[in-house]
Amino acid sequence: MKMNEGDMNILAHLPYIKVKRTIEDNVQNHKEEEHIIELSSYGIQTTYDTFLLEEVLDISYRDFSQHLGLLYLHTIKGLYSYTVKTNPQSFIREFKKIKQI
């Protein structure tokens, strides 16, 4: 289910990366694609997933290197992780403000 852009006001956004792996001529290639997570009063939308606000229970973050970290969406559908290069604290604060956590 995609959220209709006309129905939402983007409150925060956060870039995340997805690594695509392909094999060509017996060589594994890695291509980094940048996507955006958008937070609205309606919910959270990524390139591949859409969550209504009431489906997202919490958001957490863990650094795993100097330049990368994992943003975790704790949802009623399970745990979803997104690799981020920027600190997501303002995104998380905005989420907690509208969820009143």
Instruction: Find where tokens 């559908």 sit.
Output: 77
pLDDT at 8: 62
pLDDT at 4: 53
Asked if pLDDT for residue 6 goes beyond 80, the answer is no
Structure tokens at 56: 């997202």
Distances (CA, A) of 52 to 41, 46, 100: 9, 12, 15
Distance of CA 34 to the CA centre of its chain: 11
pTM value is 0.82
* Domains (range + CATH), the chain: 8-99 (2.30.29.30)
pLDDT digits (tens, 9 = 90+) for 29-41: 888 999 999 999 9
How far apart (Å, rounded) are the C-alpha atoms in residues 77 and 23?
32
